[in-house]
């Protein structure tokens, strides 16, 4: 702790008037306060909160609050905050109005989210509210761009022809989101604004309370069971029937051993029971089974003929299949040729004049995109793969990438797409009309 804060907390006035210490979201003291695998702790000071007890008046009460600490984590919390004979008040985190879904999907496509696109197109601003949690900032951008591309003009409320940001029906919420965009999302989700779907990372969601969220989508498995509980807990806070669905990608995910075991057994037993048994001693499945989880729905017998409730839309997404994936052998010489052709195309996008900003910002064609093409060139055979898996934000660029691969390999059918001409005026570096002039033509400073 910095000396100035230690001195402040040690003053007689502060010690005599301090009523107590409250630590909210207390599970973060070991999650964010602990270094892991050679990385610095995200918030090192969190692990030192226990030092407060040595500064404040003896007997000062401390209250620690969390909704997502499992049985083992509670012992860690008590040790780090130096609790002795602490009184525990527990409430079951098992909110039975939330149905859990767990579906394995391919990481090569985002069509598991197409049900959200259909709902937005059909219901516009009357659609229920959805949060899509992603594991990385890159995944947030990828999911957002996919939804925006699939929605087209329906991305804006009432197909707003002016494409105003305040009418966007989807949004991003993460640590780098501009304050005005965060405010737009918060206002919409706190009331009845046009934004219906938010793509987010987990950390900025801490402490936010949106009562009307009916669907939480976890695109990729969270790192542990506490994270699942934290994200799923955003749904159904108004008490209505809600859904938390985990899309398990066919990638190695950084998850703990307990969660790996839970995922392995999810097709053979109740997911809810296995999850909440880590947080309380007695957990029951929800009846009828179709309101509990994916597995319980599959064995539900709520009627004499079995179960007459349809599988939720989010579980009707195309599942990963084991069919052979088309792939080609690529030599280093072919990669060098592709790299050269991509750089040549990028240079052709840059006007022959002075640039006052980064070339990537001017063209939308980044070196990261070129490297991604080289990494996946053995798998690229169509436009959809490029749009769904690479950091490309223009179909025109995607088509040119596909054309280059066709010229190099000639092992697939290439069809030219027609794009409307782009209005682009090459900037004149000698033009002074960017600045205000007086009546005599002199540039005003």
- Looking at the fold, whether 357 and 289 belong to one and the same domain comes out as no
Facing residues of 293 across strands? 100
- Asked which of 269, 295, 315 is the last residue of a domain, the reply is 315
- Looking at the fold, whether 65 and 171 belong to one and the same domain comes out as no
Give whole-number Cα distances, 217 to 105, 234, 235, 244, 395, in Å: 13, 10, 10, 6, 27
- Looking at the fold, whether 430 and 405 belong to one and the same domain comes out as yes
Which ranges of 152-209 does DSSP label H, i.e. alpha helix? 179-190
Is 231 contained in some domain? yes
Per-residue pLDDT tens digits for 414-429: 888 765 554 444 444 4
- Asked which of 274, 289, 315 is the last residue of a domain, the reply is 315
- Looking at the fold, whether 256 and 403 belong to one and the same domain comes out as no
State how far the Cα of 109 lies from the Cα of 361, in Å rounded to an integer: 26
Is 243 contained in some domain? yes
Percent of the chain with pLDDT over 70: 85
pLDDT score for 99 = 97
For position 220, which CATH number holds? 3.40.50.300
CA atoms within 13 A on the CB side of 223: 7
- Looking at the fold, whether 308 and 368 belong to one and the same domain comes out as no
Which ranges of 284-366 does DSSP label H, i.e. alpha helix? 294-298, 332-349, 359-363
Whole-prediction pTM: 0.66
Total domain count for the chain?
A: 3
DSSP string, 351-419: -SS--SS-HHHHHS--HHHHHHHHHHTTT--SHHHHHHHSS---HHHHHHHHHHHHHHH--S---PPP-
Is 89 contained in some domain? no
- Looking at the fold, whether 144 and 277 belong to one and the same domain comes out as yes
Per-residue pLDDT tens digits for 67-116: 888 888 888 888 888 887 888 888 888 999 999 999 988 877 899 999 99
Full domain range(s) for residue 192: 98-315
- Looking at the fold, whether 339 and 358 belong to one and the same domain comes out as yes
Is 34 contained in some domain? yes
State how far the Cα of 238 lies from the Cα of 409, in Å rounded to an integer: 56
| Structure tokens belonging to residue 355 | 């640039």
Is 92 contained in some domain? no
- Looking at the fold, whether 356 and 280 belong to one and the same domain comes out as no
Contact 168, 155 (CB under 8 A): yes
- Asked which of 52, 80, 108 is the last residue of a domain, the reply is 80
Residues 363, 365, 371: CA angle, nearest 5 degrees: 160
Residues 123, 128, 130: CA angle, nearest 5 degrees: 120
- Looking at the fold, whether 426 and 334 belong to one and the same domain comes out as yes
From first to last of its 445 residues, what are the pLDDT tens digits of the chain? Answer: 678 888 888 888 988 899 999 998 888 887 777 766 666 766 778 888 888 888 888 888 999 998 888 888 888 888 888 887 888 888 888 999 999 999 988 877 899 999 999 999 999 888 999 999 998 888 899 999 999 999 999 999 989 999 998 899 999 988 788 888 888 888 888 877 899 999 998 755 555 678 889 999 999 999 889 889 989 999 999 999 999 999 998 655 677 888 888 888 888 999 999 999 989 888 899 999 999 999 999 999 998 888 889 889 998 755 444 444 678 999 999 999 999 999 999 888 876 445 555 555 566 788 888 988 998 899 899 888 888 778 777 788 899 999 999 999 998 888 887 655 544 444 444 444 444 444 454 444 4
- Looking at the fold, whether 337 and 311 belong to one and the same domain comes out as no
- Looking at the fold, whether 294 and 157 belong to one and the same domain comes out as yes
Is 93 contained in some domain? no
- Looking at the fold, whether 62 and 25 belong to one and the same domain comes out as yes
Is 142 contained in some domain? yes
Is 86 contained in some domain? no
């Amino acid at each position: 702790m910095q000396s100035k804060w230690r001195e402040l907390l040690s003053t007689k006035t502060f010690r005599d008037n301090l009523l107590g210490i409250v630590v909210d979201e207390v599970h973060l003291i070991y999650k964010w306060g602990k270094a892991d695998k050679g990385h610095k702790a995200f918030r090192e000071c969190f692990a030192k909160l226990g030092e407060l007890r040595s500064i404040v008046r003896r007997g000062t009460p401390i209250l620690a609050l969390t909704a997502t600490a499992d049985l083992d984590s509670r012992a860690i919390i008590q040790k780090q905050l130096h609790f002795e004979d602490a009184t525990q008040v527990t409430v079951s985190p098992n909110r039975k109005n939330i149905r859990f879904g767990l579906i394995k999907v391919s990481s090569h496509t985002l069509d598991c989210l197409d049900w959200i696109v259909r709902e937005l197109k059909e219901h516009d601003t009357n659609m229920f509210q959805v949060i899509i949690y992603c594991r990385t900032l890159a995944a947030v951008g990828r999911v957002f761009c996919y939804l925006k591309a699939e929605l087209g003009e329906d991305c804006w409320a009432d197909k707003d022809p002016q494409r105003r940001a305040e009418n966007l029906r989807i949004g991003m919420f993460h640590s780098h989101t501009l304050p005005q965009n965060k405010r737009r999302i918060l206002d919409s989700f706190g009331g009845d604004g046009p934004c219906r779907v938010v793509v987010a990372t987990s950390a900025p969601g801490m402490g936010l309370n949106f009562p009307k969220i009916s669907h939480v989508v976890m695109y990729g498995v969270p790192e542990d069971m506490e994270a699942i509980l934290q994200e799923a807990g955003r749904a159904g806070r108004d008490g209505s029937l809600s859904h938390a669905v985990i899309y398990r990608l066919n990638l190695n995910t950084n998850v703990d051993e307990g969660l790996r075991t839970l995922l392995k057994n999810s097709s053979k037993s109740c997911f809810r029971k296995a999850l909440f048994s880590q947080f309380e001693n007695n957990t029951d499945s929800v009846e009828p089974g179709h309101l509990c989880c994916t597995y319980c729905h599959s064995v539900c017998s709520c009627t004499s003929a079995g179960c007459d409730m349809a599988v939720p839309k989010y579980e009707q997404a195309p599942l990963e299949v084991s069919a052979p994936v088309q792939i080609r052998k690529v030599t280093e010489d072919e990669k060098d040729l592709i790299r050269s052709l991509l750089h040549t195309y990028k240079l052709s996008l840059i006007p022959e004049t002075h640039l006052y900003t980064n070339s990537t910002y001017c063209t939308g064609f980044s070196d990261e995109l070129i490297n991604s093409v080289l990494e996946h060139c053995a798998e690229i055979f169509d436009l959809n793969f490029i749009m769904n898996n690479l950091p490309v934000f223009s179909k025109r660029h995607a088509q040119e990438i596909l054309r280059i691969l066709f010229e190099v390999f000639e092992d697939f059918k290439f069809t030219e797409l027609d794009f409307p001409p782009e209005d682009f005026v090459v900037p004149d570096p000698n033009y002074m009309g960017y600045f205000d002039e007086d009546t005599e033509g002199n540039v005003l400073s």
